[in-house]
């Protein structure tokens, strides 16, 4: 039984009474058996995502973290000490300040091995690319000469052109190397169960429509999309890509992809439309009492006058239900926050960060080059949507017609706790982050399913993706598998699916900005097909 099937079989307890453990973090899945020469990985980018994947490799996979590339010394050494060199200090080939340094080193290491030099350190089999979104293309394409297995954090890239460049580069090596994208929602026990119920068990028959919502969260949105890295599409990408490409991929996985990865033809969409805008976090919505203040620490409204106050979010994280004041999002502001031993010391260093601001005299390029976490949310340089709807329709071909509406919303109490209503010919399903409720039209019966909760990282999706990717790499390295077989059986997502889900996001943005309904086949042929044919 493959690891994916084993995970699935263990995830389905049936329609039992609601388990008491739903709000308890359960143990992660067991670590697979290690091969004699386990696959070795470099983490490129030791931020929050890189650290998550490193933790997953060390805890639930049969691979090892062997190197790290990260420009910030604190992050690089923290990850390295925890997963690679312990208290001994970095050895040869373990620590790099830039991915290019690793590329140069690895090429030279291979030359030394080919020349018969003894004592050369073992090499790297795969890379987890966790740098800023806008750097994905240069890293993935740049690593091409090494022929590594690659797991690239989502999104693939910030523009369709860059996605196509990456697709071409990756396609050239797909016969011998596996690739995965950080679409972790595919790998949570919850969504694995949901897909089985829908596609294998056909528990509600043919699907007719889906309404799926991603609630970003009122303060989470301000942290990441008003004050943070993903606030301006001129420097990154639209929020539909940076935040919700997860969800578009999930919907296509449920409604478009073949039941078995790599087998059969997809049910391709017919039309794409979208509406949305920056509705709330803009200067016209600023409270009059805030006056000309551009920084929360100088605002006359005070801490209680505005729920978006940076002081309330970062200096009083308990208000947001955060139990550890040294973890995300606090450690985004001060990377070494855990080294400050007292709350007063942490508040002092955080306040210094929050006091930083800009005015009209600062060049826009400097403003865009960094984050401003104390900035008034109504005075920032953000321009990405805080409300967006996407509608996709499918024609009746080899499968019945259906449609889906996706809603990304900022102003919610829920933070990334997605929920869906799925309607079919024999019943309907409500699914959220904890439960799946099936209503049967024929019998009037209600069935409730409670998928296993393994981890708080996307419902166990972070762990699941890492485990499956590493297993695929191990099968290719140690068990004689062809890469396409490992890609299908363990990663369960083809390179074509990765490109399709990203392309659909760009199509939706074109439809939104042009206020039009796109024909998918025509759009794909012009925007993708003709460019790939060149």
**Residue 495: CB atoms within 10 Å:** 18
Q: What is the pLDDT of residues 335-389, one digit of tens each?
A: 889 889 898 999 999 999 999 999 999 999 999 999 999 999 999 999 999 999 9
Token output for 532: 């790939």
Q: Is the preceding omega at residue 329 within 30 degrees of 0, hence cis?
A: yes
Give me the mean pLDDT over the 66-95 stretch.
Answer: 96
**Residue 139: CB atoms within 10 Å:** 22
**Residue 61: CB atoms within 10 Å:** 26
Tell me the pLDDT band of 452, cut-offs 50, 70 and 90: confident
Q: What is the pLDDT of residues 153-166, one digit of tens each?
A: 999 999 999 999 99
Write down the pTM of the prediction: 0.92
Can you give the pLDDT at residue 239?
97
CB 66 within 8 A of CB 40: yes
Q: How many CA atoms lie within 13 A of 464 on its CB side?
A: 28
User: Does the pLDDT at position 2 exceed 70?
Assistant: no
Can you give the pLDDT at residue 23?
42
Tell me the pLDDT band of 323, cut-offs 50, 70 and 90: low
Of 114, 166, 108, nearest to 137 (Cα)?
Answer: 166
Of 452, 408, 405, nearest to 433 (Cα)?
Answer: 452
Q: What is the pLDDT of residues 422-433, one digit of tens each?
A: 999 999 999 998
Tell me the pLDDT band of 459, cut-offs 50, 70 and 90: low
User: Does the pLDDT at position 66 exceed 70?
Assistant: yes
Can you give the pLDDT at residue 433?
82
Measured at the alpha carbon of residue 253, what is the angle toward residues 252 and 259, in degrees to the nearest 5?
125
User: Does the pLDDT at position 1 exceed 50?
Assistant: no
Can you give the pLDDT at residue 26?
62
CB 268 within 8 A of CB 521: yes
Can you give the pLDDT at residue 417?
92
Give me the mean pLDDT over the 300-305 stretch.
Answer: 82
Tell me the pLDDT band of 302, cut-offs 50, 70 and 90: confident
Tell me the pLDDT band of 316, cut-offs 50, 70 and 90: confident
Q: Is 479 exposed, middle or buried (0-12, 13-18, 19+ CB in 10 A)?
A: exposed
Measured at the alpha carbon of residue 102, what is the angle toward residues 96 and 104, in degrees to the nearest 5?
130
CA distances from residue 421 to 18, 342, 441 in whole angstroms, order as listed: 20, 46, 15
Tell me the pLDDT band of 221, cut-offs 50, 70 and 90: very high
Q: What is the 3-state secondary structure (H, E, C) of 107-134?
A: HHHHHHHHCCCCCCCCCCCEEEECCCHH
Please name each of the domains of the chain with its CATH number. 3-184+460-493 (3.40.50.720), 206-281+383-424+498-522 (3.30.360.10), 288-368 (no CATH)
The H or E element spanning position 83 is helix 73-83
Tell me the pLDDT band of 453, cut-offs 50, 70 and 90: confident
Rounded Cα distance between 73 and 96, Å, is 10
Rounded Cα distance between 335 and 433, Å, is 30
Of 415, 8, 55, 51, nearest to 218 (Cα)?
Answer: 415
Q: What is the pLDDT of residues 243-289, one digit of tens each?
A: 999 999 999 999 999 998 888 899 999 999 999 999 999 999 999 99
Q: Is the preceding omega at residue 155 within 30 degrees of 0, hence cis?
A: yes
Choose the weakest-confidence range: 32-41, 178-187, 460-469: 460-469
User: Does the pLDDT at position 533 exceed 60?
Assistant: yes
Tell me the pLDDT band of 7, cut-offs 50, 70 and 90: very low
Q: What is the 3-state secondary structure (H, E, C) of 223-240?
A: HHHHCCCCCCCCCCCCHH
Q: What is the pLDDT of residues 223-253, one digit of tens each?
A: 999 999 999 999 999 999 999 999 999 999 9
Average predicted confidence (pLDDT) for the chain: 92
Q: What is the pLDDT of residues 488-522, one digit of tens each?
A: 999 999 999 999 999 999 999 999 999 999 999 99
Percent of the chain clearing pLDDT 70 (strictly above): 93
User: Does the pLDDT at position 10 exceed 60?
Assistant: no
């Amino acid at each position: 039984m493959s690891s994916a099937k084993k995970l699935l079989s263990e995830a389905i307890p049936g329609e039992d009474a609601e388990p008491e453990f739903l709000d308890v973090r359960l143990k992660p899945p067991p670590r697979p058996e290690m091969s004699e020469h386990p696959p070795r990985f470099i983490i490129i980018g030791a931020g929050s995502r890189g650290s998550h994947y490193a933790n997953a490799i060390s805890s639930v996979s049969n691979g090892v973290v062997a190197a790290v590339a990260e420009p910030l010394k604190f992050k690089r050494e923290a990850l390295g000490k925890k997963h690679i060199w312990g208290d001994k200090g970095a050895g040869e080939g373990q620590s790099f300040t830039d991915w290019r340094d690793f590329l140069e080193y690895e090429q030279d290491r291979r030359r030394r091995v080919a020349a018969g030099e003894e004592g050369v350190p073992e090499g790297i089999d795969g890379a987890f690319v966790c740098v800023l979104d806008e750097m994905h293309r240069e890293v993935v394409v740049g690593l091409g000469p090494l022929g590594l297995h690659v797991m690239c954090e989502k999104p693939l890239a910030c523009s369709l052109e860059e996605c196509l460049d990456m697709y071409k580069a990756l396609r050239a090596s797909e016969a011998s190397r596996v690739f995965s994208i950080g679409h972790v929602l595919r790998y949570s026990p919850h969504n694995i169960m949901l897909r089985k119920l829908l596609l294998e068990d056909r528990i509600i028959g043919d699907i007719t429509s889906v309404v799926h919502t991603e609630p970003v969260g009122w303060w989470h949105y301000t942290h990441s999309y008003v004050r943070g890295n993903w606030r301006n599409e001129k420097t990154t990408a639209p929020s539909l890509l940076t935040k919700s490409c997860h969800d578009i991929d999930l919907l296509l996985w449920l409604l478009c992809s073949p039941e078995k990865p790599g087998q059969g033809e997809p049910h391709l969409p017919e039309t794409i439309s979208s509406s949305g805008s920056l509705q709330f976090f803009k200067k016209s919505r600023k409270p009059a009492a805030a006056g000309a203040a551009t920084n929360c620490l100088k605002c006359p409204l005070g801490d209680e006058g505005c729920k978006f106050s940076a002081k309330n979010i970062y200096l009083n994280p308990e208000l947001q239900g955060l139990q550890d004041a040294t973890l995300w999002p606090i450690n985004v502001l001060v990377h070494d926050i855990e080294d400050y031993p007292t709350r007063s010391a942490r508040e002092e260093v955080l306040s210094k960060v929050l006091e930083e601001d800009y005015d009209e005299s600062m060049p826009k390029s400097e403003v865009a080059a960094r984050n401003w976490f104390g900035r008034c949310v109504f005075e920032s340089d953000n321009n990405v949507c805080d409300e967006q709807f996407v509608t996709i329709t499918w024609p009746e071909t080899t499968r019945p017609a259906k449609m889906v509406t996706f809603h990304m919303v900022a102003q919610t109490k829920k933070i990334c706790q997605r929920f869906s209503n799925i309607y079919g010919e024999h019943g309907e399903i409500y699914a959220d982050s904890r439960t799946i409720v099936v209503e049967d039209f024929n019998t009037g019966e209600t069935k409730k399913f409670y998928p296993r909760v393994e981890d708080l990282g996307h419902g166990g999706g972070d762990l699941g993706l890492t485990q499956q990717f590493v297993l695929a790499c191990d099968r290719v390295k140690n068990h004689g598998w062809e890469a396409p077989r490992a890609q299908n059986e363990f990663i369960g997502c083809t390179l074509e699916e990765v490109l399709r889900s990203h392309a659909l996001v760009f199509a939706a943005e074109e439809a939104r900005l042009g206020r039009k309904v796109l024909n998918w086949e025509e759009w794909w042929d012009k925007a993708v097909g003709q460019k790939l044919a060149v």
